[in-house]
Amino acid sequence: MKVYISADIEGVTGVTSWSEASKSKADYGEFAEQMTKEVKAACEGAIEAGAKEIWIKDAHESGRNISHSQLPENTKLIRGWSEHPFLMVQELDNSFDAAIFIGYHTYSGSAGNPLSHTMNASNLNYIKINDRYASEFLLHAYAASMVGVPVVFISGDKAICKEAKEINSNIKTVAVKEGKGNSTINISPNLSIKLIKEEVKKALEDKSQFSKIKLPKDFKVEISYKNHTKAFKASYYPGMKQISDTNIVYNSDSFDDVLRMLLFVI
């Protein structure tokens, strides 16, 4: 079995402030370590379920957060950003049996996490797909579905776990935190590691529950920028329409086209 893991940090237990998620800040190290431990736990659960090969995308900020030396020998770690349209699931293709998301967070503007955002926290107010606020999970789960890979597990904040279940009830989840205003309520780091390992193993062992997320037939993508100048520039992307000073809309029947568009306008 070949497994793909995409890992972020804002959905890791304990992470509450942007400084805790930024490589340049003094309090980052503790939480990068926890991110590594949660990814390692997912790897160990996958191995116990029979995974022979595991690819991991370090998908936070610089893409250089996970401690490589702590990962099992049958893993490959993707660091940095190639600028491929798959972004947080770079190298994912139909050779993988399942996809797993670790440390994910709810969509931009959601109260489910004080660090909620979608793709670019400094530039974007939100992204909507077919009038639904889009999380980074939704974007990349759709990418997985496009290449025929079922998403079987996600860990992160309570809100993103709820969203995952709404998209596909077969996805197993571990909520390690909950946002309350500008605070978070977090489970023990050690319990987080334990639960992720156990639930990843269960998710991969029960292949009868593997099912791809259903892709919409058509996509209406609305992007809202914080700065009107960004919207003006993005309005010149082929097929794009500007609908307000800060908002643009793109329509397509191809999610591959949507991903390529996002690569250039966000």
Annotated binding site for Zn(2+): 8, 10, 60, 105, 136
Which long-range contacts link 66-75 to residues 24+ away (Cβ below 8 Å)? Answer: 66/7, 66/32, 66/35, 66/36, 66/39, 67/32, 67/33, 67/36, 70/36, 70/37, 70/40, 71/36, 71/39, 71/40, 71/43, 72/40, 72/43, 72/44, 72/47, 74/47, 75/43
Asked if 140 is an active-site residue, the reply is: no
> Comparing C-alpha atoms, which of 133, 128, 154 is closest to residue 5?
154
Known binding site: residues? 8, 10, 60, 105, 136
User: What angle separates helix 136-146 from helix 255-265, to the nearest 10 degrees?
Assistant: 140
19, HSE (Cβ side, Cα atoms, 13 Å): 3
Can you read off the two tokens belonging to residue 107? 């969509």
Residues identified as active-site = 117
